[in-house]
Amino acid sequence: MNFKQKLRRLSLWVGVGIALGLGARPDCGFAAKDQNQAISEITVHTIQYTGKIKDQTAQFTVILDIEVPAKGSKVLPLLSGELTVVEARLPPDFRLERSGKDYRLIAGREGRFKIELDLVAKVIRSEPWNQIVMNGPDAVVGSVDLQAEGKDLDVELLTGVVVEKNIQTNGVQVRGILGNDRVVSLRWQSRALEMARKAVLTSEADVALQVSPTVVKYASNYKFEILQGVLPRLVVKIPASQSLTQVQGDSIRDWQIKTEAGGQTLSIEFLKPVEKSYALTLLTEQAILDLSAGVVVELPQPQDVERETGRMTLRAEDVVLEAETAAGLRQINAEAGAVAAYQFHTADFGLKLRMRRIEPVVTADDRVTVRVEEARVMVQHRVGLNIENAGLYAVELNPPKGFVVAEVRGDDVSEWKLNKGVLQIHFGNRVLGSRTLDIQLEQALRRPTGGTNDQPILTIDPVRVVGAIRETTPIGVVAAGGYAAKGIWVVAGSLAAGKEVALAPHVNDAVASAFFRDYGPFQFLHYVGQFAILAALCGWVMPVLLTGWHLWRTREQVKEPTASC
Q: Write phi, then psi, for 127 (nearest 5 degrees).
A: -45, 130
Of the two residues 126 and 536, the one the predictor is more confident about is: 126
Region 186-209 average pLDDT: 80
DSSP 8-state code for residue 291: G
Question: Taking the C-alpha atoms of 20, 21, 23 and 24 in order, what is their torsion angle to the nearest 10 degrees?
Answer: 110
Say if CB 330 and CB 316 are below 8 A apart. Answer: no
Within 25-159, where are the H helices? 29-41
Does the structure show a pLDDT above 70 at 35?
A: no
User: 495 — alpha (psi -120 to 50), left (phi > 0) or beta?
Assistant: alpha
Instruction: Measure CA of the first residue to CA of the last residue in the chain; give whole Å.
Output: 140
Before 77, cis peptide (omega within 30)? no
Q: Tens of pLDDT along 225-273?
A: 998 878 888 999 999 999 999 999 999 989 999 987 778 999 999 988 8
CB atoms within 10 A of CB 66: 24
Which of these ranges, 49-53, 90-94, 165-169, 203-207, has the smallest mean pLDDT?
A: 165-169
DSSP 8-state code for residue 123: P
In DSSP notation, 485-500 reads: EEE--EEEEETTTTEE
Does the structure show a pLDDT above 90 at 491?
A: no
Distance between CA 38 and CA 72 in Å, rounded? 9
Res. 77 pLDDT band, cuts 50 70 90: very high
Q: Tens of pLDDT along 428-487?
A: 888 889 999 999 999 887 665 555 555 556 677 788 899 888 888 777 766 555 554 444
**Domains of the chain, first to last:** 39-188 (2.60.40.1730), 200-357 (2.60.40.1730), 361-553 (2.60.40)
Say if CB 344 and CB 312 are below 8 A apart. Answer: yes
pTM here? Answer: 0.49
Edge-first strand order for the sheet with 215-228 is 242-249, 277-287, 215-228, 200-211, 307-316, 340-344, 330-332
Region 500-512 average pLDDT: 32
Distance between CA 178 and CA 162 in Å, rounded? 9
In DSSP notation, 502-513 reads: PPPHHHHHHHHT
In DSSP notation, 86-99 reads: EEEE--TTEEEEEE
- Residue whose C-alpha is closest to residue 220's, from 115, 303, 298: 298
